[in-house]
């Protein structure tokens, strides 16, 4: 399944899967499965090479609804925005849904300034842990 296809670094006892490390210019991805959805939490920097890890995780997720929690996002570049758009369109073609939640203020500005908010479903409220 997903754990076998992606370079897994650590699996927590509660079922949370962790990918990557938070270091300078790095990100941490975690995925949690709930009854009706998967929640992917991004912490750190979403840029360049890291985008492929996120898009693969979203693509391989078996749930119809995928929530992408950006509350821990510290920086994003054009590749990161492109990866979110790509993932959203991919799931839409598969009649699935991606919702971006809890974007930090700088990300809200980016989404609005580049009219990305009109293309990607966004929920401003934090997800319960």
| 55-114 pLDDT tens trace | 999 999 999 999 999 999 999 999 999 999 999 999 999 999 999 999 999 999 988 888
Domain-embedded: residue 27: yes
Q: How far is CA 109 from CA 12, 25, 123, in A?
A: 34, 21, 14
Question: Which of 100, 32, 108 lies closest to 67 in space, CA to CA?
Answer: 100
Is pLDDT larger for residue 111 or for residue 42? 42
Euclidean distance between CA atoms 111 and 6, whole angstroms: 29
Domain-embedded: residue 58: yes
Average pLDDT score over residue span 4-12: 34
**Model pLDDT, residue 129:** 53
Asked if 126 contacts 71 with a C-beta cutoff of 8 angstroms, the reply is yes
Tokens for 29, please give them: 């991805």
Domain-embedded: residue 99: yes
The whole-model pTM stands at: 0.77
Domain count, the chain: 1
Residue in the block written with tokens 């700088």: 106
**Model pLDDT, residue 50:** 87
Domain-embedded: residue 129: no
Average pLDDT score over residue span 22-41: 80
CATH number at 37 reads 3.30.750.24
Asked if 129 contacts 71 with a C-beta cutoff of 8 angstroms, the reply is no
3-state helix, strand, coil in the chain (%, to 5): 30, 30, 35
Domain ranges, residue 74 = 2-123
Euclidean distance between CA atoms 70 and 46, whole angstroms: 10
Is pLDDT larger for residue 112 or for residue 124? 112
Is pLDDT larger for residue 102 or for residue 12? 102
Q: How confident is the model at residue 5 (pLDDT cuts 50, 70, 90)?
A: very low
Domain-embedded: residue 128: no
Averaged confidence pLDDT in the chain:
80
Domain-embedded: residue 88: yes
């Amino acid at each position: 399944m997903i754990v076998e296809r992606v370079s897994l670094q650590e699996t927590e006892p509660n079922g949370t899967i962790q990918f990557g490390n938070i270091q300078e210019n790095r990100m941490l991805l975690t995925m949690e499965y709930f009854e009706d959805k998967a929640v992917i939490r991004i912490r750190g920097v979403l840029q360049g090479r890291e985008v492929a890890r996120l898009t693969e995780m979203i693509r391989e997720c078996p749930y119809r609804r995928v929530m992408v929690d950006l509350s821990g996002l510290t920086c994003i570049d054009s590749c990161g925005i492109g990866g979110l758009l790509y993932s959203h369109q991919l799931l839409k073609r598969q009649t699935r849904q991606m919702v971006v939640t809890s974007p930090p203020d700088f990300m809200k500005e980016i989404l609005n300034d580049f009219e990305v908010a009109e293309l990607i479903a966004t929920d401003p409220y934090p997800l319960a842990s």
